[in-house]
Chains A and B, each alone.
Chain A
Amino acid sequence: MVPLKAYRVMDHTGTVLDSAHEPRLSKEQVVNCYKKMVQLHVIDGILYEAQRQGRISFYMTHYGEEAMIGTAAALEDCDVVYGQYREAFMLLYRGFTMDEMMNQCFSNDLDYGKGRQMPIHYGSKKLNFQTISSPLATQIPQATGAAYALKRSASRACVACFFGEGAASEGDFHAGLNMAATLNCPVIFLCRNNGYAISTPASEQYKGDGIASRGVGYGIDTIRVDGNDIWAVYNATKAARQIAVEENRPVLIEAMTYRIGHHSTSDDSTKYRDRKEVEERAKFDNPVTRLRRYLENKQWWTQEEEDQWRKEVRSSLMKSFSAAEKRKKPAVDALFTDVYDELPQNLRDQKQELQDLMKKYPEYYDTSDYASSL
């Protein structure tokens, strides 16, 4: 079997292979992409450490997959995004602030999710980013449904739906892609194939030619790209968006990349893969370094700017970090609200029951860390 080739625009030295494929982005746009990639890298470093120190309960890094920000650059703000969990690049690109991020990770009273979900389960109504949930691949048929609705409302917007190659083994992947094809939905499926689903290598995940080969079977226009090449990712997404919005057809993009970090803070990946292999991949084929070389080739970026930007991100992140850490948890009331649009009788009763208990045993129900008691 001859595997489908991955589309690539620039090599690992940041050199564009065919200038016809170079996106004509301004210096400002390219620098913006790079700065967001670095910003994500810095955030990941600090939050990963914060979890190690027990200051937040959980974290997942994006190491090695930062070039996926090319998708963000290719989409429009009106496009609805469904993520899996390793897609904070999309939020950063659209203007999610570090305050907003820290508020979610610390589950404080400013968290939009009201402290109900684990860290990194971001969501933003304002930025058209549907709230992340843990069950894998559930977002795939949902993205298809949302795309159908967008088509009906003639909004000329599409849906971008991200997932890993492991999630693509779930039944919902099959359901979502088949429905998108048969119902002509403007949705772009973006698979991050990073070689591992926790400890399971891709070789134990599927026997076919990755995820891309399946798209053809569903009758979906499909492309495999070098996922460490921001311009390959950008071009593919741009073209996919055109197909989705103009022709109401889904597109599948498989971005080949490598998960440099551990799966999550609950995982030690040295238990199932060679540390040296990871270090070599991180060094030889790093999406951040690749874009940096591209910028340097154009003389759009210097070491001083790099140092200055990292310092800037670090210091404002630390400000957000300690502000978020200091804030109180949400009001205890938020335990009961939003299960339904209104509190039904059983929840009113149960809220009363907890309230009575808290009054009876105040020493066991300290609420001083919460914005308000019940």
Chain B
Amino acid sequence: MDTEQEDMSPETALDKDPFQMTVEDVYDMSHVIGKDLMKISKEARGVTDLVADLQFKIVRVLEVLETLVNQSSLATEEMKMERDNLKGELERLVKESPQADQ
């Protein structure tokens, strides 16, 4: 179970900085948009088909967003690990190297 969900309201996902976004935020957005669409099709029965069409286009857009967010956070994570590895390596080399330029 999560302990770090600061604000429970899924609506806040829409206010986030795109570069801080996680896939969880994308799922929250899905929920929020889904609720709105459901409200529309309940109140305006005549346009259900149009709303449904739009709904699945939005699903597609969010799937794309999910993939991109996932990929970019993975890439960042990889780069961070690589950077930390290199840092460690550098420190090790500096320590081990005989103090050549005394």
Chains A and B come from one and the same complex:
no
Q: CB within 8 Å of A: which residues of B?
A: none
